[in-house]
């Protein structure tokens, strides 16, 4: 599909970069991008997308590059691959228009959706029964006194269901265009192991160039906290669902219940991780960064941070009269996160998994 | 005129040798200042472009396979230099090469794991992770942590030396005349390979057609100043490391990517479409460094490496795309060669190929019979279109003529006395070990060993 189209400016720059790197090879031990690149001599668009999604943006190659500016070749591999990568999210997004919207306005769009959803929830509660917004609700089912159980299930179910469908459609389109075929189990296992430990953010244990030419593990640790924090929060939601439907216990749950403990740990990790990633983004050397992607990168960080923060706030003040407001705001962020999931930075997880599976499949060959 | 803050040791140059000297001296408590001619973006001289160094070792390590005994290393050096080496200094460099990796690791330099490697140097040469610029980044950070002051864009234009003792240096400091006083001088400013006028003195007008593979800041200003002040000279002016590289590469600083590895699988012709040397004499890494000189002796200092389609994937891809045509005559037209002459050369070569089992991993004995010169390995008829050609020119890496030093890297005066407070390391003194020829990676070995020795000796001398 893509190879038939004429080369875009970004693709041309990426191909030029590959041709320089492929004749140099000094960076071969930094990450999988290089062995995958060296196995090729031509770089059509789908292969560029694959290599770009293998890149974990550690910036080791930038600081080591003898062809980076002021050299006349002006090579900037991390920024170039970041642009190709983001373009691939937009190219395979379902539907496409939504992907393009997020490509450049991610932060604004995410926040706008979250705030409007919260506002709609608050407004409907006020219209239906303004007393619920000032009363204190306690005991089993307290949340559902504010927003009916069914409404919450439908809102969450539809937005999350949509997210899953759109993401599967996106990543399958990407997989078909860049690789196709059924990957072997060994490749999938190896890719999962890479992702679970974010191994390639560690650059062989020596760390990445998070801020400058010095090596650090800060970004890797912040990313691990974000990823596992998110997964714990998700697990907490699943546990709540099980308790509700299988055992008939309705939220809110006690401090020491499984969903609350899991969610609290996850929420704290998620806040710490996203705050850390944001701090690194603010302080890092801007040259190897693609600044036009700032919105998309920070959009997801902001959504995750506020989802966790409003969730924890709801937990702390659920027995006060602020609960209804906090619930509405928290749900606004959760729903915004779900709705934007297939179009924002979150898809990098899926595309990277696909790229890692393909990388391991090629290595095994 | 600006007077920069005086220091104990002035290090002139900003590459690996300069940093090894500066760090060694600063770690021992000296106040060290570096004057680097390049701006920060081009700092580090040819070390920007290096990838590895040659290290002796007795057993496999994390980054090296097998063993490389010092005797074998020394024999290799004697062979490539045809004995033109200062044996005492060579043995020091080789013995201490075994300790460079640890010294660098302790200063946060990172290495690649032993890979087998694209250049089959996995046994003899540890590779820097990311190459020379990553090496420099780590060493500059270390130097700055130990209080070394670095002046970029600051070239030494002249020296004040009285009776073999260094007193001060005149500078072009970011475009302004300046001066700096120091109690000692470590000269590590590279060779004079980027100074085409000087190269022309040694090579004649042919030098104008040389491409300079590395830094454009290696002007040899410091070397000339030292020689003018009566320092003893080593090695001949025309001795250098030079390879054949793509004629379309930039004039300066193209580094490794301008390399073309097609030669052993090709026929090399000059502008008269005549062959001039055995392309298949040995494996490419072992012959890589002779082709610069070979092409320098051809008319116009240019030659063409010609292959057919079946050879295209036998070597690493080149940065610049080869010229391509479906007939030898059309290819000649694109290269500006006489079509009938090239077609005759290729036809003669094709007829002379004796066949045999083609194998790139051994000296396969696929040779020609009846040509002058013969091609002794990997000779297969060039008969499968499309045909490809790379124009190639001499690319100079660094010059060997330099200053004589003793085992502590102390500069020797022409009258036989040692200089009181002048040391030298790196390309500017590599000619002590390399009278001619080259051994892959020995440049950084010499720079590291004598850089450290210079810094240590300066600390001993200046602290007394």
Q: What Rg value do the Cα atoms of chain A yield, rounded? A: 22
Residue B399 — left, alpha, or beta (φ > 0 → left; ψ -120 to 50 → alpha)? beta
Please tell me if residue A25 touches chain B, with a CB cutoff of 8 Å. yes
With an 8 Å Cβ cutoff, is A22 touching chain B?
Answer: yes
Cα-based torsion angle of the residue sequence A102, A107, A108, A110 in order, rounded to the nearest 10 degrees: 70
Q: Which of A20, A69, A214 sits opposite B41 (nearest CB)?
A: A69
The Cα A195–Cα B453 span in angstroms is 46
pLDDT, average across residues B404-425: 97
Q: Report the C-alpha gap between A253 and A247 in whole angstroms.
A: 13
| Contacting residues of A for B110, CB less than 8 Å apart | 206, 215
A2 pLDDT tier (thresholds 50, 70, 90): very low
Q: What is the mean pLDDT of chain A?
A: 90
Per-residue pLDDT band for A217 (boundaries 50, 70, 90) equals very high
Q: Which of B40, B51, B122, B129 to mutate to test the interface with A (most CBs of A within 10 A)?
A: B129
How many residues are listed for chain A in this entry? Answer: 365
Across A241-250, A354-363, B94-103, least confident range: A241-250
Q: Say if residues B186 and B423 touch (Cβ distance below 8 Å).
A: yes
Q: What pLDDT does residue B119 have? A: 52
**Closest chain A residue to B43, measured at CA:** A66
Nearest CA-CA partner of B316 in A159, A137, A20: A20
Pick from A22, A28, A206: CB nearest B110:
A206
Percent of chain B whose pLDDT exceeds 70: 99
DSSP letters spanning A57-103:
---HHHHH-TTSTTSTT---HHHHHHHHHHHHHHHH-SSHHHHHHHH
In the block, tokens 């074998």 appear at: B72
B222: closest CA among B176, B166, B149, B163?
B166
- Please tell me whether residue B386 adopts helix, strand or coil conformation: coil
Residue B310 predicted with pLDDT over 90:
yes
Best mutation target among B40, B127, B131 (most A Cβ atoms within 10 Å) is: B131
Helices (H), A93-184: 96-128, 142-146, 149-178
Out of B39, B112, B318, whose CB is closest to A23?
B318
Contacts of B132 in chain A (CB under 8 A): 26, 66
C-alpha B445/C-alpha B100 separation (Å) is 8
Of A146, A53, A137, nearest to A317 by C-alpha is A137
Across the interface, of B113, B253, B256, the residue whose CB is closest to A29 is: B113
Do the chains contact at A26 and B130, CB–CB below 8 Å?
yes
Q: What is the total residue count of chain B?
A: 464
Question: pLDDT tens for residues A289-331?
Answer: 988 888 888 999 999 999 999 999 999 998 888 888 899 899 9
Is the per-residue pLDDT at A60 higher than 70? yes
β strands within B191-295, DSSP E: 211-212, 233-234, 240-246, 267-269
Evaluated on CA atoms B36, B41, B42, B48, the torsion sign reads positive
Q: How far is CA A37 from CA A126, B135, B304, B447, in A?
A: 58, 23, 28, 33
Mean pLDDT of A187-210: 87
**What pLDDT does residue A53 have?**
96
Q: Which residues of A touch B115 (CB under 8 A)?
A: 28-29
- Residue A349 phi/psi, 5° resolution? -60, -45
Mean pLDDT in residue range B215-225: 97
Check B131 against A206: CB less than 8 A apart.
no
User: Min CA distance, A179 vs chain B (Å)?
Assistant: 23
Min Cα distance B131 → chain A (Å) is 5
DSSP B318: P
Cβ <8 Å between B48 and A24 = no
Q: For residue A70, which residues of chain B lie inside 8 Å, CB to CB?
A: 39, 41-42
Q: Kindly determine whether residue B115 and residue A28, on different chains, have CB atoms separated by under 8 Å.
A: yes
* Mean predicted confidence (pLDDT) in B232-249: 96
Give mean pLDDT, residues B403-417.
97
Q: Give how far A101 is from chain B: nearest CA, Å.
A: 37
Query: What is A210-264 written as a DSSP string?
Result: SSSSS-BSHHHHHHHHHHHHHHHHHHHHHHHHHIIIII-PPSSPPTTSHHHHHHH
Residues in chain B closer than 8 A to A72 (CB atoms): 250, 253
- Contact residues, chain A, for B318 at CB < 8 Å: 23
Q: Convert the pLDDT of each residue in B49-90 to its tens digit.
A: 999 999 999 999 989 999 999 999 999 999 999 999 999 999
Predicted confidence (pLDDT) at residue A1 exceeds the cutoff of 50: no
Does B403 have pLDDT greater than 90?
Answer: yes
Q: Which of B384, B391, B379 is nearest to B312 (CA)?
A: B384
Question: How close is the nearest chain B Cα to the Cα of A139, in Å?
Answer: 58
CA distance A334 to A265: 17
Residue matched to tokens 């040791």: B9
Specify the pairing of strand B402-403 against strand B233-234. antiparallel
How far are the Cα atoms of A122, A128, A252 from residue A321, in angstroms, in the given order?
14, 17, 15
**Chain A residues lying within 8 Å of B313, measured CB to CB:** 41
**pLDDT tens profile B148-184:** 999 999 999 999 999 889 999 999 999 999 999 999 9
Å between B102 CA and nearest CA of chain A: 16
C-beta of residue A65 within 8 angstroms of C-beta of residue B133? yes
Interface test with A, best of B47, B108, B317, B395 (most A CBs within 10 A): B317
Only one residue has tokens 């007394």, namely B464
Determine which of A15, A66, A206 to mutate to test the interface with B (most B C-beta atoms within 10 Å).
Answer: A66
What does the pLDDT average to over A62-88? 96
**Encoding tokens for residue A276?**
């850390």
Structure-block tokens of residue B378: 């990997």
Chain B residues within 8 A (CB-CB) of chain A? 39, 41-42, 48-49, 51, 108, 110, 112-113, 115, 118, 127, 129-134, 137-138, 141, 250, 253, 255-257, 259, 313, 316-319
The closest alpha carbon to A266, from A227, A301, A294, belongs to A227
Q: Quick one: A254 exposed, middle or buried, by C-beta within 10 A (0-12, 13-18, 19+)? A: exposed
Q: Considering only CA atoms, give the Rg of chain B.
A: 23
What does the block give as tokens for B445? Answer: 């070995």
Q: Are A347 and A170 in contact (CB under 8 A)?
A: yes
Placement of tokens 């990311």 in the chain: B130
- With tokens 């934007």, the residue in question is A340
CA A191, CA A169: separation in Å to the nearest integer?
Answer: 20
Q: Which of A346-350, B69-73, B306-310, B386-390 has the lowest mean pLDDT?
A: A346-350
B49 contacts A25? CB cut-off 8 A: no
**Which residue in chain A is spatially nearest to B254 when comparing CA positions?**
A67
Q: Which residues pair with B159 in a beta bridge?
A: B169
Confidence of residue A192 (pLDDT cuts 50, 70, 90): very high
Average pLDDT, chain B: 96
Q: Check residue B453 and give its pLDDT.
A: 98
Nearest CA in chain B to A64: B134
Would you say B29 and B144 are in contact if contact means Cβ atoms under 8 Å apart? no
Q: Is the peptide bond before A95 cis (omega within 30 degrees of 0)?
A: yes
Chain A stretch 181-240, residues whose beta carbon is closer than 8 A to a beta carbon of chain B: 204, 206, 213-215
- Evaluate if pTM is beyond 0.90: yes
Q: How many CB pairs below 8 Å do chains A and B form together? A: 81
Asked whether A77 and A112 are in contact (CB, 8 A), the reply is no
Contacts of B125 in chain A (CB under 8 A): none
Q: Does A26 touch chain B (CB under 8 A)?
A: yes
Percent share of chain B, pLDDT over 90:
94
Label residue A127 exposed, middle or buried (CB < 10 Å: 0-12, 13-18, 19+): exposed
Cα–Cα distance for residue pair A302/B362, rounded to 1 Å: 59
Tell me how far apart the alpha carbons of residues A134 and A122 are, in angstroms, rounded to a whole number.
12
Spell out which residues of chain B touch residue A24, defining contact as CB-CB under 8 Å: 255-257
Taking an 8 Å cut-off on Cβ atoms, the answer to whether A26 and B131 are in contact is: yes
Nearest Cα residue to A61 out of A18, A16, A31, A23: A31
Residues of B with Cβ-Cβ distance to A202 under 8 angstroms: none
């Amino acid at each position: 599909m893509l190879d038939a189209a004429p080369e875009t400016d970004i693709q041309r720059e990426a191909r030029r970069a590959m041709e320089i790197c492929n004749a140099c090879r000094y960076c071969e031990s930094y990450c999988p991008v290089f062995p995958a690149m060296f196995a090729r001599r031509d770089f059509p668009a789908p292969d560029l997308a694959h290599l770009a999604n293998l890149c974990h943006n550690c910036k080791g190659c930038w600081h080591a590059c003898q062809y980076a500016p002021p050299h006349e070749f002006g090579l900037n591999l991390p920024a170039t691959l970041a642009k190709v990568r983001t373009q691939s999210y937009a190219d395979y997004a379902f539907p496409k228009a939504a992907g393009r919207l997020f490509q450049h306005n991610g932060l604004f769009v995410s926040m706008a959706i979250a705030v409007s959803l919260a506002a709609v929830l608050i407004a409907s509660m006020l219209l239906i029964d303004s007393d619920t917004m000032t009363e204190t609700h306690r005991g089993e089912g307290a949340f559902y006194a504010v927003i009916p159980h069914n409404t919450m299930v439908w809102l969450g179910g539809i937005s999350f269901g949509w997210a899953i469908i759109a993401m599967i459609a996106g990543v399958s389109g990407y997989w078909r265009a860049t690789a196709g075929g059924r990957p072997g189990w060994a490749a999938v296992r190896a890719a999962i192991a890479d992702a679970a430990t974010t191994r390639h953010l560690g650059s062989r244990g020596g760390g990445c160039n998070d801020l400058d030419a010095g090596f650090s593990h800060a970004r890797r640790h912040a990313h691990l906290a974000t990823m596992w924090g998110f997964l714990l929060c998700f697990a907490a939601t699943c546990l709540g669902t099980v308790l509700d439907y299988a055992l008939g216990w309705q939220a809110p749950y006690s401090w020491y219940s499984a969903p609350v403990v899991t969610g609290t740990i996850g929420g704290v990790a998620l806040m710490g991780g996203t705050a850390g990633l944001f701090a690194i983004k603010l302080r890092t050397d801007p040259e190897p960064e693609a600044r036009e992607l700032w919105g998309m990168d920070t959009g997801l960080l902001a959504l995750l941070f506020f989802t966790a923060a409003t969730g924890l706030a709801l937990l702390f003040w659920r027995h006060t009269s602020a609960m209804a407001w906090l619930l509405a705001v928290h749900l606004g962020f959760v729903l915004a996160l779900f709705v934007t999931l297939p179009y924002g930075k979150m898809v990098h997880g899926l595309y990277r998994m696909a790229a890692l599976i393909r990388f391991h499949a090629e290595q095994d060959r | 005129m600006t007077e920069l803050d005086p220091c104990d040791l002035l290090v002139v140059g900003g590459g690996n040798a300069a940093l090894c000297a500066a760090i060694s001296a600063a770690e021992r408590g000296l106040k060290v200042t570096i004057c680097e001619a390049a701006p920060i973006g081009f700092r580090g001289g040819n070390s920007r472009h290096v990838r590895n160094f040659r290290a002796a070792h007795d057993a496999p390590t994390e980054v090296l396979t097998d063993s490389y005994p010092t005797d074998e290393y020394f024999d290799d050096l004697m062979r490539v230099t045809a004995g033109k080496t200062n044996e005492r200094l060579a043995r020091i460099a080789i013995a201490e090469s075994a300790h460079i990796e640890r010294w660098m690791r302790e200063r946060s330099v990172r290495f690649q794991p032993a890979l087998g490697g694209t250049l089959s140097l996995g046994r003899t040469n540890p590779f820097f992770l990311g190459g020379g610029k990553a090496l420099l980044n780590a060493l500059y950070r270390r130097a700055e942590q130990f209080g070394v002051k670095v002046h970029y864009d600051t070239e030494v234009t002249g020296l004040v030396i009285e009776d073999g003792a260094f007193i001060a240096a005149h500078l072009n400091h970011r475009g302004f005349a300046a001066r700096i006083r120091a109690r000692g001088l470590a000269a590590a400013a590279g060779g004079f390979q980027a100074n085409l006028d000087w190269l022309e003195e040694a090579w004649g007008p042919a030098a104008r057609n040389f491409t300079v593979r590395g830094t454009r800041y290696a002007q040899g200003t410091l070397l000339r100043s030292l020689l003018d002040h009566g320092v003893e000279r080593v090695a001949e002016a025309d001795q250098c490391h030079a390879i054949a590289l793509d004629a379309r590469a930039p004039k300066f600083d193209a580094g490794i990517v301008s390399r073309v590895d097609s030669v052993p699988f090709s026929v090399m012709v000059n502008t008269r479409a005549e062959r001039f040397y055995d392309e298949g004499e040995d494996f490419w890494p072992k012959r890589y460094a002779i082709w610069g000189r070979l092409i320098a002796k051809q008319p116009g200092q240019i030659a063409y490496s010609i292959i057919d389609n079946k050879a295209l994937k036998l070597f690493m891809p080149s940065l610049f795309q080869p010229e391509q045509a479906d007939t030898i005559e059309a290819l000649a037209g694109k290269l500006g060669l006489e079509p009938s002459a090239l077609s005759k050369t290729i036809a003669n070569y094709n007829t002379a190929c004796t066949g045999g089992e083609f194998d790139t991993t051994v000296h396969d004995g696929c040779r020609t019979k009846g040509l002058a010169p013969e091609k002794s390995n990997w000779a297969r008829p060039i008969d499968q279109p499309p045909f490809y050609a790379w124009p190639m020119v001499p690319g100079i890496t660094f010059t060997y003529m330099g200053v004589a030093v003793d085992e502590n890297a102390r500069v020797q005066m022409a009258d036989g006395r040692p200089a009181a407070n002048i040391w030298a390391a790196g390309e500017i003194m590599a000619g002590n070990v390399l009278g001619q020829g080259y051994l892959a990676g020995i440049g950084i070995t010499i720079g590291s060993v004598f850089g450290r020795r210079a810094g240590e000796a300066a600390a001993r001398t200046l602290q007394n």
